[in-house]
Structure 1
């Protein structure tokens, strides 16, 4: 119990039994994940749950780009499909907006940008970093939601100049961009919430 509580406190209260079980195994402790879960339940140690969200099954297709990705989140090679999204984080000095670009092959953040304003420059800078880091030789599919930043003429011109193909989620359907949504949920739960 002492070891479990130590890992739980070190995680800022965000770790559940699977993560704590991994930490225990790394330290040479032999027990099952079910045993860890039972001890945590008995001692009222709960992992912090991410933000709740309303899910909509349908949604209208985008006016700028179709949903070419179509939830095919497992490409067979890097730089084949990237996903992008924006979120906000609360800091001691106010809100900041973060845009990321994730390579679906490795699930690695290949580009990011942070600013006080959520405009087209935020997403263009994140995409610029991704292009600079990866320097793709072929066309790359870049999937996003239908936010105005992704529909701006400057963003689309940048995409066209660098041979990036736009793909957009159906309106109001977060499942179409599930990888980016999942990343931000983890990012907020494990990093930003525990710092505030």
Structure 2
């Protein structure tokens, strides 16, 4: 919530500054900014009587690895490669990896059939469960030939499949193994 608020405040300030640049600007006129002051790099500068922006922190946007929608379709979760989860709309934040250091990037997020939880999976096949999501196993003990790229839950919520980039499929819980590309 704080990260989203910081991003909104930063965006509003940037839009305000850009609107102030639209008119004729004089370096000595308070509250006006010359067009040369806007930077493609995102830097904002103040001149004249404008207050400094030094109290604002810069929000780094993480690498987003996956997205899943709520059952209602009125919200969704975004998962970053480092395991942060961001909830939007009617999605409820059920937890994330926070300060836990992952050994491989998170590559997917999947919602539970009841909509009250989600799983995160890393490229090594490590699965993390939050909310009503049930942990049914991981691939962390295996030396994979290709990274895991997807987690798909079964309709009961009591299992899931992991899919590797080479077409390998791994079943956990009540998910039934039905074959993979190695079987063709």
> For this structure pair, what is the TM-score category when the shorter chain's length is used for normalisation?
under 0.3
Say which one has the larger Rg: 2
Please identify which structure carries the higher helix content.
1
TM-score, L = length of structure 1: 0.25
Please identify which structure carries the higher strand content.
2
Higher relative contact order structure (alpha carbons within 8 Å, sequence separation ≥ 6): 1
